[in-house]
Chain A
Amino acid sequence: MSALAPTKRRGLAQRTNPLVYVGLYLVSLVIVLPLLWMFLTSFKTDFDAISSPANPIPNPFTVDAYVTLAGGSQPILTWFFNSVIAATAQTLIILVTASAAAYALARLEFVGKKIVFGVIIATLLVPGVIFLIPNYLIVQNLGWLDSLWAIIIPGSAGAFGVFFLRQFFISLPAEIEEAARVDGAGDFRIFWQIVLPLSRPALATLAVLSFLTNWNDFIWPIYVLLSPENLTLQPGLAVLQGTYSTHFGIVMAGAVIASVPVLILFTLAQKQIVESVANSGIKG
């Protein structure tokens, strides 16, 4: 791209001011440095983390913090697997239920369509705090308190996935679908064999966004998960901070464990995430 783009644009834009790069590098530094510090501190001894906080380089370099966490008083590996299970399960449920609902709203005509769509969209504007207490009671009545069901199911009911996929389904060309219909395909086959395969990028983006949201959820799990072995990583970090209040190496190791999966996911899906975020402002 660098071979083509400059010749095309040189006529319009002047040469980039070097100060632009200075600015961008400065911002990058401010963003990255704290994360790097977290990463490096997780390889420090407790003593080193406290006694030489201004020196980011571990001296000596040690993985003691991770070893302590793995065999320590807090079951961080269990939290990790709980987070993986909850986020994966919720993502799958969202993909299945939201894509089916979005197909109906984008491609089918039915009685009450406007009302159903209006109600679903309206709930996008309601802040999460409204649902906190009633959902707590509902989850309690279902016997789901202190279980992963509470983390997986209520959050999979949100309107975002339906809205997101509906916008994409609408943009698919109607001709392919009409041709299939002429060939005798029913709604389910059109959905399964035409709409879903064509929507892979949108489904992947929604999957990543759903996974991230569930993985990072904090306020809900700290109230509905109670036993230490049932926690997910985010409330687990709060427990770690309380347990190891001055053992910063250990707390940072916990933070690293909670961030690495989502940072990898983000790196893999960066383009889709960034584009869907950018679009949210333009189309919103």
Chain B
Amino acid sequence: MTETAVKLSSRGGPGPRGKAGRPVRSKPVGRRSAVAYLFLAPFLILFSVFVLGPAIYGLWISLHIWNPLLDDHPFVGLQNYIDLFTPGSLTSGDFWKSMGATGIFTVASVPLLLVIPLGIAMLLNNKVRGGSVFRGIFFAPYVLGVAVISVLWRYLLDPQLGVVNALIGQDIPWTVQVPWAWISLVGITVWWTLGLNTIILLAGLKGISAELYEAAAIDGAGPWRKFTSVTLPGLRPVMTFVVTVTILASANMFGQAYLITKGGPGTDTRTAIMYIADQGLTQNQMGAATAMSYLLFAVLAAVSVLNFRLQRDNT
């Protein structure tokens, strides 16, 4: 896609590509580049200081024992990374437990965030009156911040005073015991974000040609056969995108657990992001924390690559 995009863009550029006979001025390459970089400069300055710079600076920090309160940041090479793989070190146990928590959340939420939105998208893909109103309603919670949805559900799910327990007449420890805390966090996240995947999958469904369904019907395919032979293969590229984006979003879970379960009970729902932020910004262990963040990045990158590979092999 990038390739075609670059080719297309050159159509509009100045220079000798103008149609024969048209008077197209051509400027020297150096001057054209200078103009382009003038356009790029404000963004590139911000980008270098707050995106590119930090990505490299973080790697540098991760090679040190970096306590921001001390002037001296001793260089320790890969020790922070090695510590994470050394059982019994200060950080490894808690870190991998938090990675496990992130893993539990991801494994539990991603399938639900695929199946439920796909079901809703298939409902919306019918000839429905008020379809755009439904789409708007389903998407609405997603535009609310994680703090809003968290304080809301903290109230609804409060074990003693909450609405849900009052409505069902039970004393379920929604936010203070596992597995209930996980059920709550996953359920809230599904409620909050299902609109996003629904919209993307709906667009994918609309892209599947009606002729394919007709052909399947002529071949005598029932609804299930149409679903498995036409719908699912037709959705494959969109599905790859949705799976990747949903895994990454789930792996970045922070606010819900921070505000609703406070990482508890104990540290059972303390996710990797929560642990990294706490170590780096509250406990002042910045070297160890940045090392953790790069390790998390590496795991996520591996998962993404694996996901794309699997999707491609299935085709």
- Interface residues of chain A, those whose CB is within 8 Å of chain B, are 2, 5-6, 9, 12-13, 16-17, 20-21, 23-24, 27-28, 30-32, 34-35, 37-38, 41, 50, 53-54, 93, 96-98, 100-101, 103-114, 116-117, 119-121, 123, 125-138, 140, 153-154, 156-159, 162, 166-167, 170, 172, 174, 177-178, 181-182, 187, 191, 212, 215-219, 223, 233-235, 237-238, 240-241, 246, 248, 251-252, 254-255, 258-259, 262-263, 265-267, 270-271, 273-274, 277-284
Contact = CB atoms under 8 A, between A and B. Distances in A.
A98 B131 CA distance: 34
**Which residue among B25, B54, B301 has the maximum number of chain A CB atoms within 10 Å of its CB?**
B54
Nearest to A271: B132
18 contacts: A16-B126, A32-B137, A101-B44, A116-B44, A123-B55, A133-B293, A157-B49, A170-B5, A178-B22, A187-B35, A238-B147, A238-B151, A246-B161, A259-B148, A271-B132, A274-B136, A280-B200, A281-B203
Contacts of A127: 248, 251-252, 293, 296-297, 300
A107 B11 CA distance: 8
Nearest to A256: B148
Given A130-B54, A167-B5, A187-B39, A109 B13 contact: yes
B55 A131 contact: yes
A97 B55 contact: no
B306 interface: no
The size bracket of the interface on B is 35 or more
B105 interface: no
A28 B138 contact: yes
Interface in B55-82: 55, 57-58, 61, 68
B15 to A, nearest CB: 6
Contacts, number: 334
Contacts of B35: 108, 110, 187
A41 B277 contact: no
Q: Which applies to chain A's interface (DSSP): helix, strand, loop or mixed?
A: helix
A182 to B, nearest CB: 7
A30 B191 contact: yes
Interface in B156-207: 156, 158, 161-163, 166-167, 191, 195-196, 199-204, 207
B109 to A, nearest CB: 16
Interface string B133-153: 011111111011111100111
